[in-house]
Amino acid sequence: GQNIDQPTEMTATEGAIVQINCTYQTSGFNGLFWYQQHAGEAPTFLSYNVLDGLEEKGRFSSFLSRSKGYSYLLLKELQMKDSASYLCAVRKSGYSTLTFGKGTMLLVSP
Amino acid sequence: DTAVSQTPKYLVTQMGNDKSIKCEQNLGHDTMYWYKQDSKKFLKIMFSYNNKELIINETVPNRFSPKSPDKAHLNLHINSLELGDSAVYFCASSRSGTSGNNEQFFGPGTRLTVL
């Protein structure tokens, strides 16, 4: 099976930087995805990592270390609209489906 | 243009009833999925369909049955509804394939309440 762990909640201040960690255990890793989900809305894709290293996309970056089973999502210059749940998801080799973590609720305050 | 659409958005029904949720995507994707998100916001895969064939069937009760009339549609039928079926159900789609960035696009969700 797969085990994915993320912190349940985090708080940060507008304009700051926050790092949301995700650790996973899986056999046959084949990609890690981050999604954002605002309350009452659908998840939307943020980033994808399959090789070790950092992927940068505007204010958001995602890092992966396959040997450590570890990823983080880095959000810079936080805005109030970044208050949402952030979901880490892992894909296994040979499958297109994703297994999601329980999500990290981020609250950005003024 | 809506990429992945679901109907209805809200569904309130009595225990024991049978209901359906419809999903359509206009992205030309070959793979579609159904997820259940419970009250604790845990998003769990239920089914995925690739080219009208069920490729993954997670351990969900057989009261749930996905039906795909064509590759743009994946409907979810639920028989003999139970209280524990209350949740938000999301449909999603992606390009086929098990590698590369085949990100999934989610529909707006259907909030099912069983009384």
Report the candidate in A49, A1, A33, A50 with the shortest Cα–Cα distance to residue A103: A33
Residue B53: its pLDDT value, please?
A: 76
Tokens of B6: 């679901």
CA distance B91 to B73: 10
Is the pLDDT score of B51 beyond 80?
no
Residue pLDDT, tens place only, A17-28: 999 999 999 888
Is the pLDDT score of B98 beyond 90?
no
CA distance A20 to A88: 9
In B, which residues are within 8 Å of A47 by CB distance?
A: none
Residue B101 one-letter amino acid = N
pLDDT-derived band of residue A41, with 50, 70 and 90 as boundaries?
very high
CA distance A55 to A102: 23
For residue A49, what is the nearest residue in chain B, using CA coordinates? B101
Residue A32: its pLDDT value, please?
A: 96
Residue pLDDT, tens place only, A44-90: 999 999 999 999 999 999 999 999 999 999 999 999 999 999 999 99
Query: Nearest CA of chain A to the CA of B50: how many Å?
Result: 10
pLDDT-derived band of residue B44, with 50, 70 and 90 as boundaries?
very high
pLDDT-derived band of residue B40, with 50, 70 and 90 as boundaries?
confident
Mean pLDDT of chain B: 91
Residue A1: its pLDDT value, please?
A: 60
pLDDT-derived band of residue A96, with 50, 70 and 90 as boundaries?
confident
Is the pLDDT score of B15 beyond 70?
yes
CA distance A80 to A106: 10
- The mean per-residue pLDDT over the stretch B25-41 comes to 92
Is the pLDDT score of B91 beyond 70?
yes
Contact across the interface for B42 and A100, Cβ inside 8 Å: yes
In a mutagenesis test of the A interface, which of B6, B38, B41, B60 is the best target, namely the one with the most A β-carbons within 10 Å? B41
In a mutagenesis test of the A interface, which of B47, B74, B103, B111 is the best target, namely the one with the most A β-carbons within 10 Å? B103
Residue A28: its pLDDT value, please?
A: 87
Is the pLDDT score of B2 beyond 90?
no
Residue A62: its pLDDT value, please?
A: 98
